[in-house]
């Protein structure tokens, strides 16, 4: 019985790269997340995925980001960087991860 490695940083890098390549189009972001779901283990990395979609990068205990200001490890396509109005936040909430 072989155990699978737990590599949240590799998962983060893959998700962040895909989100950044999708640009500001939430439709493209949703399509990326949908297609990546067949390759990536969203259940195993659920905490990391949640951190990225809400804060833009992985979070350490206490809530600080683990990205060392490296732009390749963070995305602006998240709730924290969304416009501060009801419609913008609702649009992010409607992006579904299957």
Per-residue model confidence as pLDDT tens digits over 58-73? 999 988 888 878 888 9
What is the reported pTM? Answer: 0.82
In the structure encoding, which two tokens stand for residue 44, read together? 């195993």
Cβ neighbour number for residue 16 with a 10 Å cutoff: 23
pLDDT digits (tens, 9 = 90+) for 5-60: 889 999 999 999 999 999 888 889 989 999 998 889 899 999 999 999 999 999 99
Report the C-alpha gap between 92 and 7 in whole angstroms: 26
The whole-number average pLDDT for the span 82-94 is 84
Query: C-alpha distances in angstroms, 68 versus 61, 72, 73?
Result: 15, 10, 8
User: Count of domains in the chain?
Assistant: 1
How far is CA 28 from its chain centroid?
Answer: 14
Structural domain range at position 54: 1-97
Q: Which of the pair, 98 or 31, is modelled with greater confidence?
A: 31
pLDDT recorded at residue 32: 93
């Amino acid at each position: 019985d072989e155990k699978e490695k737990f590599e949240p940083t590799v998962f983060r890098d893959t998700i962040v790269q895909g989100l950044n390549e999708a640009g500001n189009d939430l439709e493209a972001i949703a399509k990326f997340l949908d297609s990546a779901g067949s390759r990536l283990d969203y259940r195993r990395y659920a905490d990391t995925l949640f951190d990225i979609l809400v804060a833009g990068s992985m979070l350490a205990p206490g809530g600080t980001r683990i990205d060392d200001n490296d732009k390749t490890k963070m995305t602006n396509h998240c709730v924290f960087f969304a416009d501060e109005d009801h419609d913008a936040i609702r649009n992010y909430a409607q992006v579904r991860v299957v």
